Chains A and B, each alone.
Chain A
Amino acid sequence: MEKFGFAISKGRQIDYDANSRHIAAYISEREPSFRACIECGCCSGTCTTGNFTRFSLREMHILMKRGENKEVHDNIRKCMLCGKCILVCPRGVNTRNVVTLARQAFQIYESNAV
Chain B
Amino acid sequence: MQFDIFTLPFNIGLYFILIYAVVRCVRWFSDLSKADKLRLQRGFFGRPFSQSIREIFLESLIHRKILKTNPRLGYMHMSLAFGWFLLILFGTIEADVFGTHHLNAPYKAIFFRFFNPDHGQTPFERSYAFLMDFILAFVLSGLLLAVLKRFSSKIVGMKKTTRLKPLDKIALTSLWLIFPSRLIAESLTCGAYGTGSFLTGTLGSFFASFLPANELAYPFWWLYSISLGTFFVLLPLTRYMHIPTELFLIFARNSGITTGDQPGSYKEIQTYSCSSCGICIDACQLNFSAGITNIQSAYLMKGIRNNTNVSDIAFNCLMCGRCDQKCPVGIELSPIRMIHRRNQENPVQSGKLIDRYFPARLKPVQPKTVPEPSYAWLPEQEVEKADVLYFAGCMTHLTPAIRNSMISILDASGLNYSFMDKDGGICCGRPLMLSGQDKEARELINRNSQIIWKSGAHTIVTSCPICYKVFRESYYLDVEVLHHTEFIQKLIADGSLRLNFMRKRIAYHTPCELGRGSGIYKAPKDVLKHVAQFQETAFEDENGLCCGGSLGNMKISNAQRRAIASDVAAELTKGNPDILATSCPLCKKTLAAVTSVKVADISEIVASAIIDPAEKKKSKDSCRMPDLAVDFKM
Contacts and interface: CB of A to CB of B under 8 A. Distances in A.
User: Which interface residue of B378, B397, B427, B589 has the most chain A CB atoms within 10 A?
Assistant: B427
A97 interface: yes
A97 B555 contact: yes
B558 A81 contact: no
B431 A87 contact: no
A96 B395 contact: no
Interface string A61-89: 00000000000000001101111100110
Interface string A90-113: 001110110010000001000100
B414 interface: no
B124 to A, nearest CB: 71
B432 A80 contact: yes
Contacts of A52: 377-379, 426
A104 to B, nearest CB: 9
Given A46-B398, A96-B551, A107-B369, A82 B557 contact: no
B554 A92 contact: no
A80 to B, nearest CB: 4
A81 B435 contact: yes
Given A46-B398, A83-B551, A94 B377 contact: no
A53 B378 CA distance: 8
Size bracket of the A interface: 20 to 34
B554 A82 contact: no
B559 interface: yes
Contact of A92 (B427, B431, B559): B559
B473 interface: no
Nearest to B371: A77
Nearest to A107: B369
A46 B440 CA distance: 21
A96 B437 CA distance: 13
Contact of B431 (A80, A88, A107): A80
Contact of A84 (B371, B398, B432): B398
Contact of B435 (A46, A53, A96, A111): A96
B557 A100 contact: no
Interface residues of B, number: 32
Contacts of B586: 83, 87
B435 A78 contact: no
Given A52-B378, A96-B435, A84 B554 contact: no
B424 interface: yes
Contacts of A111: 369
A48 interface: yes
B375 interface: yes
A93 B437 CA distance: 22
Contacts of A53: 377
Interface string A18-53: 000000000000000100000000000010100111
Given A78-B374, A78-B375, A100-B435, A88 B398 contact: yes
B532 interface: no
A66 to B, nearest CB: 23
A63 B379 CA distance: 26
B423 A51 contact: yes
A78 B376 CA distance: 9
A48 B374 contact: no
A2 B377 CA distance: 40
B341 to A, nearest CB: 11
A88 B558 CA distance: 12
A74 to B, nearest CB: 10
Contacts of B338: none
A94 B559 contact: no
A33 B427 contact: no
Nearest to A111: B369
B552 to A, nearest CB: 10
Contacts of A97: 554-555
B398 A87 contact: yes
Contacts of A84: 394-395, 397-398
A51 B549 CA distance: 23
Contacts of B437: 81
B38 to A, nearest CB: 38
Contact of B558 (A46, A48, A82, A94): A94
Contacts of B397: 46, 84
A77 B586 CA distance: 24
Interface of A: 33, 46, 48, 51-53, 77-78, 80-84, 87-88, 92-94, 96-97, 100, 107, 111
Interface of B: 369, 371, 374-375, 377-379, 394-395, 397-398, 423-427, 431-432, 435, 437, 440, 444, 549, 551, 554-559, 586, 589
30 contacts: A33-B557, A48-B427, A51-B423, A51-B424, A52-B379, A77-B371, A77-B440, A78-B375, A78-B377, A80-B375, A80-B431, A80-B432, A81-B427, A81-B435, A81-B551, A82-B394, A82-B427, A82-B431, A83-B394, A83-B551, A83-B586, A84-B394, A88-B398, A92-B558, A92-B559, A94-B554, A96-B551, A96-B554, A97-B554, A107-B369
Given A78-B374, A96-B435, A96-B554, 5 more contacts: A81-B427, A81-B435, A81-B551, A82-B394, A87-B395
